[in-house]
Amino acid sequence: MPVDGFASSGELTNAASAKRLWFDLEVASVLLDTTVLIDLLRGRPEAARRLRTLRIAGDAPYVCAVNVEETVRGLRPRELAPARALFAGLRIAPLGAAEGWQAGEWRREFARRGRTLSQADCLVAAAALALGGRLATGNPRDFPMRDVTVEHWPVGA
């Protein structure tokens, strides 16, 4: 039965695969999770080094709306301007129906196995998957999805 114009998750997977292929031809992409963004805003040297390394390698750092919201929610007053500057220098990954569908499938699949995943983490992972599947985070255990390649950027480093 169609949901929002999609007949099945297979069609969504094919659409996401086509989108990933297009991005792979352009640049390698990595979605930065909120933990990484906070470390960048707090001036943590290892996070800054890793971001520079990504850019030197030609990889494109991304965020999605969920990461922006989570970061802004916890900003200290002195971090407002630096956060705006940081986000202005990053690409924004789209979050649409395909990513919402994928996030819902993950939540349902893991719930059946007795593990609860947060809506935010599943949406972030779905955005990363749409970009090619790379996600940089300080919380790798929050992203057990097999289709997502998680890069552990330790928090506070």
Can you give the residue ranges of every domain in the chain? Answer: 13-152
- pLDDT beyond 70 at 88: yes
| pLDDT band at 133; cut points 50, 70, 90 | confident
Distance CA 100, CA 15 (A): 13
| pLDDT band at 4; cut points 50, 70, 90 | very low
Q: Residue 77 has what DSSP assignment?
A: G
Structure tokens at 42: 């707090």
CATH class of 13-152: alpha beta
Distance CA 75, CA 57 (A): 30
| pLDDT band at 29; cut points 50, 70, 90 | very high
Q: Residue 152 has what DSSP assignment?
A: E
Environment class of 124 (CB within 10 Å of its CB; exposed 0-12, middle 13-18, buried 19+): buried
Residue 47's SS3 state is helix
Residue keyed to tokens 């996600």: 135
- pLDDT beyond 90 at 60: yes
In the prediction, which pLDDT does 22 show? 44
